Amino acid sequence: MFEKVLIANRGEIALRIHRACREMGIRTVAVHSTADADAMHVRLADESVCIGPASARDSYLNKAAILSAATITNADAIHPGYGFLSENADFAQMVEEHGFTFIGPSADHIRMMGDKITAKQAAEAAGLPCVPGSAGALSSEEEALRVAGEIGYPVLIKATAGGGGKGMKVANSAEELRESWRLARQEAKAAFGNPDVYMEKYLQKPRHIEIQILADGFGNVVHLGERDCSLQRKHQKVLEEAPSPALNAEARARIGQIACDAIRKLGYRNAGTLEFLYENGEFYFIEMNTRLQVEHPVTEAISGIDLVREQIRVAAGAPLGYTQADIRFSGHAIECRINAENPETFAPSPGRVGGYHAPGGLGVRVDSGLYSGYRVPPHYDSMIAKLIVHGTSRNECLMRLRRALGEYVIEGVQTTIPLHQRLIVENDFVNGEYDIHWLEKFMGLKK
């Protein structure tokens, strides 16, 4: 087992990884920018190294600085968390070439899944059902019009290098498609430096359902059920739950089996998530995330499995200690992502946290680096906390979530807690009847 792990991230996820290491008797190295010198992950880690100025490009994305930090602290392995360098194949490769273990999949798998076109091709070859669409990047407007004619409108134009919901455009007609074609390419070029786009049938009322998998280096693969992440704003997840109110045991077992078979065929190792859209009883693969997800705690809550611990064990060469038949799900879990933002306009609200009191009690987990006096820096993602609640049933979970949100005190910055409080009492949400467009309609952003 590793003696020392460097955590190449910040905020709640750096803390989350530190906690798993500490429980496993592994020493930790925190890295941080100058803006994060007082952050909780830095305070709790055994050692810390400042890797650069506030700008993420010069610190958390600075591969050389992170590798130097690992070298001088004599770390054995690097955990990338999510975001930043977690899906950067070149970084994973450099880590290994420098003699450290990358706690995640191989660079080749990250590369394969990082490009949407090769990802879809690999997924299809591994037996995953995909959304109908173009076979690869579209070479011209004429080709876009021809493919749209074949699959039927509405269609969605997506960036091949996409991520974070950027560069997606819906077209309802040939006329709109001409416009979307141009805009999507411009946006893709600006956001990812690559204008290539591809096309998918636009599903009108799907749910976003993803399957958590774990695989070791010995061909053992298990799935830990699904998460329903349909509550989104601008294609960004806001609240996630497990299990999905829309799946029954048969559908869960079916997609879980398909996912495990595909992962085995791909020879993938470590934790990963297969994302699907689910409509009219059918699953359509959209992408694979080759890392730990923000919403992993809902899976931990219902399965009792510590996903970060498993990532570390598998990366150290240990086999999974169980088979699919050993995995049992219990109860229901919901996660609310709490951002330092105005809950109406979503304008970021960085600043100094005054009074702070996190909720507690049975079935309540808060993953956050906040404390009274902490300054939320303006340089990074605005998520400052995750509230995860577990109950024996969805109803119990909802009652507990209401109670916990009501207890949560974060003074000095605006947060999205009031948005969560409003949405979890809505009938559609309470009844589990929502799709990926529901939240934006509820907020009056969409008809």
- Whole-angstrom distance, CA of residue 285 vs CA of residue 302: 24
- Does 312 bind ligand ADP (CB under 6 A)? Our answer is no
The answer to whether residues 171 and 200 touch, using CB atoms and an 8 Å cutoff, is no
Q: Which helix (H) or strand (E) holds 156?
A: strand 155-159
Query: Does position 119 bind ligand ADP by CB under 6 A?
Result: no
When the beta carbons of 10 and 237 are compared against ligand ADP, the nearer one is 237
3-state secondary structure of 226: strand
Q: Contact between 36 and ligand ADP (CB under 6 A)? A: no
Whether the CB-CB separation of 246 and 228 falls below 8 Å is answered with yes
Residue 144 makes contact with ligand ADP by CB under 6 A: no
Rounded to a whole number of angstroms, the minimum distance from the CB of residue 239 to ligand ADP is 13
Return the residue matching tokens 């996912």.
259
- Binding ligand ADP (rule: CB under 6 A), the pick from 156, 247, 336, 340 is 156
Q: What type of residue sits at position 351?
A: G
Choices 100-108, 197-205, 362-370, 414-422 (CB under 6 A): range interacting with ligand ADP: 197-205
337: contact with ligand ADP by CB under 6 A: no
The answer to whether 353 and 338 are in contact (CB under 8 A) is no
Q: Kindly tell me which residue out of 36, 87, 187, 200 binds ligand ADP, with binding defined by CB under 6 A.
A: 200
**For the window 209-248, what string marks contact with ligand ADP as x by the rule CB under 6 A?**
-----------------------x--x-------------
# chain residues binding ligand ADP, by CB under 6 A: 18
Selected from 15, 49, 113, 286, the binder of ligand ADP by CB under 6 A is 286
Instruction: Say which of 27, 227, 269, 291 is annotated catalytic.
Output: 291
Ordered DSSP codes for 304-315: ---HHHHHHHHH
Nearer residue to ligand ADP within complex by CB, 203 or 353: 203
Instruction: Kindly list the distances between the CA atom of residue 132 and the CA atoms of 16, 153, 200, 404, in Å, as whole numbers in the listed order.
Output: 38, 12, 6, 42
Q: Give residues 364-423 in contact with ligand ADP (rule: CB under 6 A).
A: none
User: Closer CB to ligand ADP, residue 284 or residue 329?
Assistant: 284
Token digits of residue 125? 């070859």
**Separation CA 401–CA 419 (nearest Å):** 13
CA angle at 430 for the pair 425 and 432, rounded to the nearest 5°? 145
Longest dimension (CA), the chain: 61
Rounded CA-CA distance 268/213 in Å is 10
Amino acid at 195: P
291 is known as an active-site residue:
yes
Among 91, 202, 283, 380, binds ligand ADP (CB under 6 A): 202
Instruction: With CA atoms as reference, report the closest residue to 288 among 106, 113, 118, 83.
Output: 113
Return the structure tokens found at 137.
Answer: 């990047």
Instruction: Please identify which residue in 42, 94, 113, 203 interacts with ligand ADP, judged by CB under 6 A.
Output: 203
Q: Which stretch binds ligand ADP (CB under 6 A): 195-203, 215-223, 322-330, 368-376?
A: 195-203
Site for ligand ADP in 168-187 (CB under 6 A): none
**Whole-number minimum distance, CB 44 to ligand ADP, in Å?**
31
The catalytic site residues sit at: 291
Q: Which residues lie near ligand ADP (CB under 6 A)? A: 131, 156, 162-165, 200, 202-203, 206, 208, 232, 235, 275, 277, 286-287, 436
